[in-house]
Amino acid sequence: ELHKENIRRKFGVGKDDFLLLFVGWEFKRKGLAVIISSLSYLEKRVKILVVGPDEPGPYQRLARDLEVQDRVIFVGARSETERFYAASDVFCLPTSYEPFALVIIEAMASGIPVIVSKIAGGADLIENRESGFLLEDHQDPKEIAEKVSVLMKDSKLKHKMEENGRAVAEEYSWKRMARRVLEVYEEVAKKKKM
């Protein structure tokens, strides 16, 4: 809770604001423009926190053109991303291509709902409306806005996605994956001895 309040206060996000989080580089491919455009369809208390090293200029211009510039916060590259997950209400990644997005698992492990394109690597871990939302059309800002609105209004669904997402992420923890790899090696070693 302390991280949440510290980060929000530091970047001018109010207690009643609903904070979307975008983490990544290659803003264009990962759909940042679509998330910014979705703000036009959402309440003014919805803001986006953008964590990543890409050039913000074109996205700041887009936000100004849409008159939502005061709702888009660029923080640059950060190493302590877990603090930003903790401070946010929803993680959003409407990527057009992503082999495997570790950020999706990180967001789920942090206990925030995810809204990702169904073509993103890692999307197959998400059961739609259970452990996150999958976007049918990752280039449609209205669809993102609809999913965000649902989570803003339905705290039971949001809580269910938080819990289910965390459980899914635990299945893919480094410790568990390492244990599974070790089990496979042991199986192979046993078969070679036979």
CA 107/CA 93 separation, integer angstroms:
11
Q: With cut-offs at 50, 70 and 90, classify the pLDDT of residue 166.
A: very high
What proportion of the chain, given as a percentage, has pLDDT over 70?
93
Mention every residue, 6+ apart, whose C-beta is less than 8 A from residue 67. none
Q: Which pLDDT value is given to residue 9?
A: 95
Residue with tokens 């916060």: 73
pTM value surpassing 0.85:
yes
Helix, strand, coil in percent for the chain, rounding step 5: 55, 15, 30
Query: Residue 173: what pLDDT?
Result: 67
Over residues 40-51, the mean pLDDT reads 98
Segment among 62-76, 83-97, 99-113 with least mean pLDDT = 99-113
Q: Which pLDDT tens digit goes with each residue over 99-142?
A: 777 899 999 999 999 999 999 888 888 999 999 999 999 999 99
The answer to whether residue 180 scores a pLDDT higher than 80 is no
In this predicted model, what pLDDT tens digit does every residue of 6-44 receive, in sequence order?
A: 999 999 999 999 999 999 989 999 999 999 999 999 999
| Nearest Cα residue to 71 out of 37, 111, 95 | 37
For the beta carbon of residue 180, count every other beta carbon within 10 angstroms.
12
Total Cβ atoms within 10 A of residue 117: 25
DSSP 95-159: -S--S--HHHHHHHHTT--EEEETTSTTGGGPPBTTTBEEES-TT-HHHHHHHHHHHHH-HHHHH
- The pLDDT confidence band at residue 3, using thresholds 50, 70 and 90, is low
Predicted confidence at residue 182, as pLDDT, reads 72
Q: pLDDT-derived band of residue 91, with 50, 70 and 90 as boundaries?
A: very high
Rg over alpha carbons for the chain, rounded to the nearest Å, is 18
